[in-house]
Structure 1
Amino acid sequence: MSNSQQRDQMTSGKGFVAALDQSGGSTPKALSLYGVEESAYGSEAEMFDLIHAMRARIASAPAFTGEKVLGAILFEMTMDRQVNGKPTATYLWEDRGVVPFLKIDKGLADEADGVKMMKPMPDLDALLERAVKAGIFGTKMRSVIDAASPSGIRAVVDQQFDIGNQVLSHGLVPIIEPEVTISIADKAEAEDILLAEITRRLDALPEDRQVMLKLTLPEKANQYKSLVDHPRVMRVVALSGGYSREEANTRLSQNTGIIASFSRALTEGLSAQQDDAAFNDTIAGTIDSIYSASVAG
């Protein structure tokens, strides 16, 4: 059964998780960093074709395999499409040895109480059923913390874990992502509150359930070591959060047991104008650097 192999890989494999899940709102920016300007497409459909082509190019690059890339987070439309003639999730696992995850949130609500909660997800059960059929292993959902607000951070963590339990009930592993904005003045204080709130919800999980956590690289090295070691946590991964790849890698290597789950830092330096040799060389170098920082901790 591939699921137990996937579970082993996500629990103890050496490597990192690639985030290929830019959604509608962030796609134009992702494309423009890739060298495809908005003038290159006339419709949303063409835009999504172009971003899928970029993701397919990354996923089929020689270096993009389970040897260093343990998992990849997909956008819903990517799950529904194909790479090299196979459904994306199937291709990732069967051909590349990479465990597929699905981004399930519908974006962020407006800021209130120092945080941005997730928008409602009324069709979540149907999406999770589709994900199971498509061979998805786990999910990812993101909220944002913009201040060291005890009540706001508690609300974010409660929403994340409540939906996480819904995900677990479908046999999928949720990646819980309460991102702390890297530019805030009270980031260290926010991280202390976040640690306490996550611990509270982890301690309440049944013994047979595990989640993954995706956290902003903290101000204090090993801030989240107790979460890395928590029996209800399969893995702690870090988001790059706007840090440059170099800064993100440096911070990551100071946090024992945390591995990377970078999005923008993964695609940095890639261009639609590169020929395949240059593109594959660039992505291989990127994968090596993120892998090294992930296993250094």
Structure 2
Amino acid sequence: MPAGKTMEQNTATEPIRCKAAVCKVAGQPLEMEEVEVAPPRAHEVRIRILCTSLCHTDVTFWRMKGFPPRHPSILGHEAAGVVESVGDHVHEVAVGDTVVPVFLAQCGDCPDCLSDRSNICSGLPARPGMPRDGTTRFSFAATGEPIHNFIGVSSFTEYTVVDVAHVVRLEPGVPPEKACLLSCGVSTGIGAAWKVAAVERGSSVAVFGLGAVGLAVAQGCRMRGAKRIIGVDMNPEKRDIGKRLGITDFINPDDIGERTVSESSRR
């Protein structure tokens, strides 16, 4: 019998064999491989991934040579899933909970986590591998060769192991294809408007670039009560989606010509 169990046979204390998209060489296509995912250790959670999205950060690190992620590695950090098993000392989530993994830790005890001015946990700072010991929970099923973890998440796989400080529990019923955006793009954009810029009610703001983060910034500005939210993007298709997600005015720089921003935004 192989060392790892299949997904149908797994138990909470044994490895799981599943499929993952593995980055073996920087800039080369990912390869689907059978991998073994070890059971969670203390303070860790094993998650069955329901949905994962592609962030440009994944593309950036996929291209890099000689800088993390090391190879082979499993990329991906925007995801939603269900807790399959938990290690010792995990009380924040339970088996069956819907969760999103996030790449920034929140230990809840360090000065930075207790401060309103920072979200960079100093108790569990970013490091290669799992945050508490630097090891990995992934290996190739056929050879046992280790596969590196990516910024504490590694979501391009059917199962992953994440430290509980990198997990946020969701209420049941949140669509996973939308929930997976919460762990990076949406939280980055809304957080920028809500906490960093602290947009004031009745104010006017401009959002340059209406990608996933920019659209989330627009939502955050609307939530903060901004009166006028000007979206700026060179893609004319962003006008309609921007309007749905919070912008009041749209500017395509290619269309401005000699007109002022004020004249153009009303068009």
Larger Rg belongs to: 2
| Fold shared, TM-score > 0.5 on shorter chain | no
Tell me the TM-score range normalised by the shorter chain. Answer: under 0.3
TM-score after normalising by structure 1: 0.22
- With the length of structure 2 as denominator, give the TM-score of the two structures: 0.24
Higher strand share: 2
Give the helix-richer structure, 1 or 2. 1
